[in-house]
Structure 1
Amino acid sequence: MKALTWHGTNDIRCDSVPDPKIEGERDVVIKVTSCAICGSDLHLMDGLMPTMKSGDILGHEFMGEVVEVGSPNHRLKKGDRIVVPFNINCGECRQCKLGNYSVCQRSNRNAAMAIEQFGYPTAGLFGYSHLTGGYSGGQAEYVRVPMADVAPMVVPEGLSDEEVLFLTDIFPTGYQGAEHCEIKGGEIVAIWGMGPVGLFAVQSAKVLGAERIIAIETVPERIALAKMAGATDIVDFAEEDVYERILEISKGEGADAVIDCVGMEADAGHGQAGVLSALKEKVLPSERTFVLDQAIRAVRPCGIVSVPGVYGGPVTVNMGQIVQKGLTLKSGQTHVKRYLEPLTKLIQDRQVDTTFLITHRSTDLADGPDLYKLFKEKQDGCVKVVFHPGG
């Protein structure tokens, strides 16, 4: 079968690889009908995540049709059309029972590596390094889904692939980022980065009742999409002082909550803070904290800092600001399964548009290397790439 594979920094290829096989009773194999390139995949492309191996199959946003099951008594049946959360869940450990699916204690088959890095295991993830289990990803024609009796959801009738594909990651991630802000109605929420997660965070903050939603971005196409998603205010970080603009919008108070949807690959922006961030980048090039620094400064005292953006290692954070301002910091990989049913209802009720951010489509995975480059470099207005293999 065809699959997009990693062969080193900036070396993504479309290879012919062996078809996946059932390895246990809880497995299923699906024929992938839709998959996407995620911003997190660019961290792999840029060589920022450790433990990648040449030939690893990429992709953690995918869905498709079940073509093989590990047991005749499996919850899923051949022909079922399913969306597959990016994290793998055993459903049996304490964290799964608490609904903390991103830190499942049993699904990461390389748990010892994660414990060494983070102190505790993380859930197994599809297509995202051997640190998270070394599972083959879904940017492929077929994929094995382990523990498939727990996390995947059968798609309700009447919903297209493109309407539900992003339930696998970026919609729940944006929603969890907004939910962490504890929006009760009337708040000012500032969101850094109008990539796909940021756009879903905007829509989610609007659904949850935020009054002012400030989008911080500089790419014109993404600014236009942020307005479509519901942003009430735009701050171009390349042209304006973000902190001063947020103070102006909030009448000197600061935002009630802030969301960092950028993570480790933030660009330094306007003013002295941008210079300081650039200097820090020379020391820790894989961990750029410019956005996080800015967000912590711009939130009001006793406000909330939500961080769905990905960080992979140690960073320097101004704990003085966090402590003296009495801030709450919330982060973590997304507990996708927790959100599948409620977010599906938002889609069915047309409260959220999950398709407007798709800018590029392909039916051939062979286009993948070029589309990865296009996405990384934000060329041709590229915001989100979706593949329909064989479609």
Structure 2
Amino acid sequence: MKALTWNGVNDLSVERVPDPQINNRQDAIVEVRLSSVCGSDLHLLGGYMPAMERGDVLGHEFLGDIVEVGADVRKRSVGERVVVCSFFGCGQCWYCQNDLWSLCDNANTNPGLTELTYGQPLGACFGYSHALGGNAGSHAEYIRVPYADHGAFPVPEGVSDRAAVFASDAAPTGWMGADLGGVKSGDVVAVWGCGGVGQMAARAAMLLGAERVIAIDRFPERLAMTAEHVGCETIDYTQTDVGGELLERSGGRGPDVCIEAVGMEAHTDGPVNLYDKAKQQLRLESDRPSALREAIYHCRKGGTVFCLGVFGGLIDKFPMGALLNKGLTLRGAQQMGQNYIPMLLDRIAAGDLKTDHLMTHPMSLDEGPKGYDMFKNKKDGCVRAVLKP
């Protein structure tokens, strides 16, 4: 079959790779309908995430049709159109039983690197390096889905492929940030980043009852899209003082909940951006945390900061003093979509949650390298390139 493969830093190509096979009795094989690029993929392209190997198939946000199931698959069947959660879990370990799906003890068959790096092994994701299991990704004609009963969810009739594909990763990631960030009725919420995940986090905060939601970015087309399709307030951080704006819009206190949806390659104005880029390129720090720093500085005293953006290692000049002395709660997680995807599909079907606008650039699988170039370099207003095999 054809698949989009990683061949080195910023080097992608469409190649012929072996068709996936049922390896375990709980597997399913899915014929991919749509597979979206994601901001976290850019960390792989740039060489910032370890354990990538030449020929690895990328992609983790997708939907498709089940064409084969293993002998122990009970809930899913051949012919179903399904959205698949990007992080998958066994459903049986302590973490899965406690709805901490991305921390599954059994899904990652190659846990050694994350155990060494983080002190304990992490879970498994599609197409996201051998540190997270070495699983082939979704930018392909077919994909093997482990633990299909726990990670593949049928798409309701009437929900388009274009809308449903983002229930795989962007929508549940964003919703998790608002949910685990503790957003409640009457809150003021600030979201750093107006990409797919940031927009979904902002919309989730609104649906959870926030009184005001403010999304922060620098790209005019993303700010305009967020205002139009999400319906929240926006701030262009290149045109105004973000801290002052947030104080003014929150009665002088600062946001109750700050959600960072940018990650390890964040941008900011001023010399600190040059400092972080230089240290990252020299590998003196692995991640650029400017958006996370801002979220901590601008959150109200006693508030909560939730980190949705992907970070891989170490950051410099972390404002621990602000975190401690302001009495903040800091949380973060890889997405646990099993807790949210069925609900999100119902909300999409009901019209409460709009996702299809994120698909700005539909493309064929053969155009995958072009799609990632447009996405990475923000060409032609690209928010998400979505590949169709």
Contact 2:285–2:315 under 8 Å retained in 1: no
State the match for 2:68 in structure 1: 68
Offset of residue 273 of structure 1: 5.3
Offset of residue 256 of structure 1: 1.1
State the match for 1:355 in structure 2: 356
Q: 2 CA distance for matches of 1:19 and 1:149?
A: 21
State the match for 2:174 in structure 1: 174
Q: 1 CA distance for matches of 2:106 and 2:183?
A: 33
State the match for 1:123 in structure 2: 123
Contact 1:268–1:275 under 8 Å retained in 2: no
Q: 1 CA distance for matches of 2:323 and 2:246?
A: 18
Q: 2 CA distance for matches of 1:385 and 1:126?
A: 18
Offset of residue 315 of structure 1: 1.7
Contact 2:26–2:72 under 8 Å retained in 1: no
Cα-to-partner distance string for 1:270-311 (whole Å, 9 max, x where unaligned): 5x6556655655664531011111110000000010110110
Contact 2:156–2:349 under 8 Å retained in 1: no
State the match for 1:332 in structure 2: 333
Q: 2 CA distance for matches of 1:53 and 1:276?
A: 30
State whether structure 2 residue 211 is matched by structure 1 residue 211.
yes
Q: 2 CA distance for matches of 1:277 and 1:252?
A: 30
Letter in 1 for 2:327: G
Q: 2 CA distance for matches of 1:118 and 1:274?
A: 26
State whether structure 2 residue 344 is matched by structure 1 residue 346.
no
Letter in 2 for 1:69: V
Q: 2 CA distance for matches of 1:43 and 1:176?
A: 21
Letter in 1 for 2:24: G
Letter in 2 for 1:334: Q
State the match for 2:102 in structure 1: 102
State the match for 2:254 in structure 1: 254
Identity level (%): 42
Contact 1:261–1:309 under 8 Å retained in 2: yes
1:70-89 alignment, distance < 5 Å: 70-71=70-71, 74-89=74-89
Q: 2 CA distance for matches of 1:277 and 1:243?
A: 20
Letter in 2 for 1:359: T
State whether structure 2 residue 13 is matched by structure 1 residue 13.
yes
State whether structure 2 residue 240 is matched by structure 1 residue 240.
yes
Letter in 2 for 1:380: D
Q: 2 CA distance for matches of 1:254 and 1:276?
A: 27
* SS of residue in 1 equivalent to 2:149: coil
Offset of residue 73 of structure 1: 5.9
Letter in 1 for 2:376: K
Contact 2:223–2:234 under 8 Å retained in 1: yes
Structure 2 gaps of 5+ residues are: none
State the match for 1:28 in structure 2: 28
Contact 1:212–1:231 under 8 Å retained in 2: no
Residue 54 and residue 279 in structure 1: after superposition, are their counterparts in 2 closer, same or farther (change >3 A)?
closer
Offset of residue 149 of structure 1: 2.3
Contact 1:90–1:150 under 8 Å retained in 2: yes
Contact 1:83–1:154 under 8 Å retained in 2: yes
Structure 1 gaps of 5+ residues are: none
Q: 2 CA distance for matches of 1:175 and 1:68?
A: 31
Cα-to-partner distance string for 1:70-90 (whole Å, 9 max, x where unaligned): 227643221111111111211
Cα-to-partner distance string for 1:128-156 (whole Å, 9 max, x where unaligned): 00000000001100111112122211222
Offset of residue 158 of structure 1: 2.3
State the match for 1:366 in structure 2: 366
* SS of residue in 2 equivalent to 1:329: strand
State the aligned residue count.
Answer: 387
Q: Is 89-98 or 314-323 further displaced after alignment? A: 314-323
Q: Is 228-237 or 200-209 further displaced after alignment? A: 228-237
Letter in 2 for 1:349: A
State whether structure 2 residue 127 is matched by structure 1 residue 160.
no
Q: 2 CA distance for matches of 1:181 and 1:31?
A: 35
State the match for 1:310 in structure 2: 310
Letter in 1 for 2:330: L
Residue 53 and residue 277 in structure 1: after superposition, are their counterparts in 2 closer, same or farther (change >3 A)?
closer
Q: TM-score, normalised by structure 2?
A: 0.95
* SS of residue in 2 equivalent to 1:300: coil
Offset of residue 349 of structure 1: 1.5
Q: TM-score, normalised by structure 1?
A: 0.95
Q: 1 CA distance for matches of 2:75 and 2:202?
A: 35
* SS of residue in 2 equivalent to 1:179: helix
State the match for 1:291 in structure 2: 291
